[in-house]
Amino acid sequence: MTVVLPTPAQLRSVADQCGLSLTDDDVASFRGLMQGSIEAYNLVGAMPDEVPEVKYPRTPGYRPSPEENPRNAWYRKSTVKGAASGKLKGKTVALKDNIMLAGVPMMNGSATLEGYVPDFDATIVTRMLDAGAEIAGKVHCESFCMSGGSHTNAVGAVHNPHKMGYSAGGSSSGSGVVVALGEVDMAIGGDQGGSIRMPSSFCGTYGMKPTWGLVPYTGIMPIEVFVDHTGPMTATVADNALLLEVLAGDDGYDPRIKAPKVEEYTKALGQGVKGMRIGILKEGFEQATAEAAVNESVREAAKRFKDLGATVENVSIPMHLMGPAIWTPIGTEGMTQTMMYGDGYGLSRSDLYSTTLMDFHRGWRRQADSLSETTKLFLLLGTYINNTFGPRYYGKALNISRRLTAAYDKAFKDYDLLLLPTTPMKATKLPEPTASREDYVARALEMISNTAPFDITHHPAMSLPCGMVDGLPVGLMLVGRMFEESTIYRAAHAFEQIGDWKKM
């Protein structure tokens, strides 16, 4: 790849794009003035990149057959053995397929990325391997992570672990399935609008979206830096706390939090909830798509926290219902500018860029018709808004997100945790391939209203299973103060000890 001087015709067309009118002399002169910088580009091009070393051997693995993969949860199985000892010794882990595992293909749910092979490991991959974990492979996620339903991956829907034909939730769909089925001990998910917590709700797993910046996002395909989160999805609270302990903390790349407050989360286990104050968030039960049976199951679970010794009261935060609206410009334009037009990264970040991903992902422009209908919708809207208004709504929404954060923080003066349904409904039927675009999009986005607000306020939030309705799990969400994951684990663990949520 060499950079060459633009031809006079190329320079004219660029000038048009910039609104500049150039004479022939101007064109010749600007071309001459570019020569030195073009040489600089080629010097950079010739230098080796600066990316982390791959520490543990692995093979590209294989794509399991439908018989081995009946729910379409797996993309590639490939075993990577970590250190001989450590906190995760004996634990197997699956990675959401937007996380870079060097040498093993990654497609992030999109046909446009098929064939891409990352060349370095995400920070959290190295951390888990250093802690003795064994990585079992990559699990499917939704098309560029842009869906809360599990029907948007280019190679087919992911099915719910409890009921074939039902949604596993998204966008970390495969992660929820393989944990719920016990095929691995742990999985990693990603969350920009709820994508760790929504599949946890639909699959009946424990999914923690940690405080923004607590876990390095380095080496994970971004959507938008302000909402990018990654975190643990597990079958038990203890495993979740243990995994977060390994994942958390500054890595020297991710600049978002200068000094993340890291704790030994496993110390929260067994502490009980006596004296804890829990606020039942009224508006969390008032979403347009709320299912009465889900609300009831979550309210019943709230009573159990009272039985366990916590103070449990109702609290109203009317602005919670504005959260999805405030999320919309940030999610939409972030996705459009950073992930799509920015070749995955955009500019002005100071973390680690994957140039191999940037090069490969650029190709989406040649195959845009193969994007999922949800990805197309976000891309069309984000492009229209940017063409018409520029990023001013993004900026205003980001400013207003601080008012939303303050509204929750006011409640956190009186309560240690907020409690609400993770998703207003339990898993829905997967749309048929012949479903209308309207149904396809509804099944992808109707469940994000309670989760998305905390992606822009950055509070830690965890989904825990609290009961079953019609053979499908119900998810309860606990939200804590910034960096108070330990408080969430304390409560979640106490609740888990009551007994089998499948019988509640």
Ligand X SMILES: NC(=O)c1ccccc1
* 195 in catalytic set: yes
Least spacing, CB of residue 195 vs ligand X, in Å: 3
- Rule CB under 6 A: say whether 145 interacts with ligand X: yes
Rounded to 5 degrees, φ, ψ at 95 are: -110, 130
Encoding tokens for residue 39?
């040489």
What gap in Å lies between CA 494 and CA 490, rounded to an integer? Answer: 6
Q: Euclidean distance between the first and final Cα of the chain, in Å?
A: 60
Least spacing, CB of residue 418 vs ligand X, in Å: 19
Least spacing, CB of residue 50 vs ligand X, in Å: 29
- How many residues sit in the footprint of ligand X (CB under 6 A)? 13
Summary count for the chain: helices (H), strands (E): 14, 11
Tell me which of 78, 173, 195, 486 is the catalytic residue.
195
- Rule CB under 6 A: say whether 147 interacts with ligand X: yes
Tell me which of 96, 138, 209, 426 is the catalytic residue.
96
At 89, the amino acid letter reads K
Nearer to ligand X, 224 or 351 (CB): 224
Ramachandran quadrant class, 313 (left: phi over 0; alpha: psi -120 to 50; beta: rest): beta
Nearer to ligand X, 167 or 266 (CB): 167
Nearer to ligand X, 91 or 458 (CB): 458
- Rule CB under 6 A: say whether 456 interacts with ligand X: no
* 303 in catalytic set: no
Ramachandran quadrant class, 249 (left: phi over 0; alpha: psi -120 to 50; beta: rest): left
- Rule CB under 6 A: say whether 150 interacts with ligand X: no
Nearer to ligand X, 214 or 268 (CB): 214
- Rule CB under 6 A: say whether 373 interacts with ligand X: no
Nearer to ligand X, 193 or 480 (CB): 193
Q: Which of 124, 184, 420, 448 binds ligand X (CB under 6 A)?
A: 448
Least spacing, CB of residue 254 vs ligand X, in Å: 18
- By the 8 A CB rule, do 189 and 172 touch? yes
Q: In the beta sheet, which residues pair with residue 92?
A: 134
What's 271's DSSP letter? Answer: -
Q: In the beta sheet, which residues pair with residue 287?
A: none
Nearer to ligand X, 194 or 382 (CB): 194
* 96 in catalytic set: yes
Binding flags for ligand X, 15-44, as an x/- string (CB under 6 A):
------------------------------
Least spacing, CB of residue 230 vs ligand X, in Å: 11
Q: Which of 122, 136, 139, 146 binds ligand X (CB under 6 A)?
A: 146
Binding flags for ligand X, 329-368, as an x/- string (CB under 6 A):
--x-------------------------------------
Encoding tokens for residue 190?
């990603």
Smallest CA-to-CA distance from 355 within 366, 344, 341 is with: 344
Binding flags for ligand X, 294-333, as an x/- string (CB under 6 A):
-------------------------------------x--
Binding flags for ligand X, 224-263, as an x/- string (CB under 6 A):
----------------------------------------
Smallest CA-to-CA distance from 422 within 96, 177, 204, 188 is with: 204
Binding flags for ligand X, 182-211, as an x/- string (CB under 6 A):
---------xxxxx----------------
Encoding tokens for residue 168?
């596993």
**Which residue's entry shows tokens 């907020």?**
418
Least spacing, CB of residue 494 vs ligand X, in Å: 28
Least spacing, CB of residue 455 vs ligand X, in Å: 7
Q: Which residues fall within 8 angstroms of residue 284, CB to CB, at 6 or more apart?
A: 320, 418, 419, 420, 421, 450, 477
Nearer to ligand X, 72 or 171 (CB): 171
Sort 16 into a burial class: Cβ within 10 Å, 0-12 / 13-18 / 19+.
exposed
Nearer to ligand X, 183 or 191 (CB): 191
Least spacing, CB of residue 223 vs ligand X, in Å: 6
- By the 8 A CB rule, do 150 and 168 touch? yes
Q: Which residues fall within 8 angstroms of residue 208, CB to CB, at 6 or more apart?
A: 196, 231, 232, 233, 240, 244, 460, 461, 462, 485, 488
Q: Which of 61, 82, 148, 421 binds ligand X (CB under 6 A)?
A: 148
Strands (E), 90-225: 92-96, 134-139, 186-191, 206-209
Nearer to ligand X, 222 or 260 (CB): 222
Tell me which of 110, 147, 150, 171 is the catalytic residue.
171
Smallest CA-to-CA distance from 348 within 259, 257, 256, 230 is with: 256
Binding flags for ligand X, 152-181, as an x/- string (CB under 6 A):
-------------------x----------
Strands (E), 181-238: 186-191, 206-209, 229-234
Binding footprint of ligand X on the chain (CB under 6 A): 145-148, 171, 191-195, 331, 445, 448
Residue numbers annotated as active site: 96, 171, 195
